[in-house]
Structure 1
């Protein structure tokens, strides 16, 4: 690991405050926070700011949770981010994804619905071009309103950012999650 989780002895009020928007009090510790957040809190101000945004994406977004998780899994697959993948498979299944949907996000077979295919294709297009074509924008518009399309773009962008950070820092999936 290039940037390991912050040792418990270094957790202070600033670190705890940085996690307060995302985690309940009982999880604001090195074990409860998990390796990703325990690593991010090495920079409490950045963590606090980013988590404000991330809380919106996970809990306040206008996207249907199932489609949000499908998009995140596609990002995790394309970016080879094991940490993101492992955590969001579980979250995706809880949000209504099936094992077949998870495999579709991995590229193992075709998505189950036409709109799932649009979502996966839009993630791919953003990853390749940092922009959506008029055709893809129109296809997303068939089921997403303007705010949902905005939330979609920011979700893909935020989870791409997290994947590059987790991969570069060397954040490992927790031993009990393999």
Structure 2
């Protein structure tokens, strides 16, 4: 069992006390990251861009995040982002398709998921993939896709290494309505 446990409020580092009431205190993944307060502080600006200010838009971002979570075998990321995708109104069949082969996805989702696959398998997009992603989301969107894959790859490394289970609220939600 890993000793990378989410820090409690009582164990929260004083140097990042201001982060506890925000995003960092809401999810166990960030409570684990709080073992390295300087990293969590630096992470904050990138998180703001990747999660909130992305040019991908929320649904496309969720496709990228879900596919990244699946490819890393991160049940933590998958479960949390199934919840977010549902809140955005994404259909269950669409969410489920993100786990499977590209041929079973919509063309847009296949373009995004195929780019995730390429980045994780070969650490690059081919010129054809770059053109396809840019046609869909623009040049900045292509960079945001790459940043999102990298960002959630690091989170998957942390979640998987810590053996994180779903946060209680997400676990309860998925017990009522299981993830596809």
TM-score range, shorter chain: 0.7 to 0.9
Other structure's SS at 1:118 match: helix
The root-mean-square deviation of aligned C-alpha atoms, in Å, is: 1.9
- Cα 1:154–1:19 change in 2 (3 A) is farther
Please state how far the C-alpha of 1:9 moved relative to its aligned partner: 2.2
Aligned to 1:143: 136
TM-score (normalised: structure 1): 0.86
Deviations 1:78-108 (A, max 9, x none): 1010111111111112224211111111117
Instruction: List runs of 5+ in structure 2 lacking aligned partners.
Output: 172-180
TM-score, normalising length: structure 2: 0.85
**Superimposed CA distance per residue, residues 116-143 of structure 1 (whole angstroms, 9 cap, x where no aligned partner):** 1111111111110000011111111221
Tell me how far apart the structure 1 counterparts of residues 128 and 28 of structure 2 sit (CA, whole Å). Answer: 39
How many residues align? The count is 169
Matched with 2:10 is 9
**Runs of 4 or more consecutive aligned structure 1 residues displaced over 4 Å after TM superposition:** none
SS in 2 for 1:106: coil
Unaligned runs of 5+ in 1: none
For residues 71 and 160 of structure 2, the distance between their equivalents in structure 1, rounded to whole angstroms, comes to 12
1:12: Cα distance to partner? 4.3
* 2:123 counterpart residue number: 130
Q: Is the 8 A contact 2:55 2:137 kept in 1?
A: no
Partner deviation per Cα, 1:46-80 (whole Å, 9 max, x = no partner):
11111220111111111111010011000101101
1:176 Cα deviation from its structure 2 partner: 4.1
Q: Tell which deviates more after alignment, 8-17 or 44-53.
A: 8-17
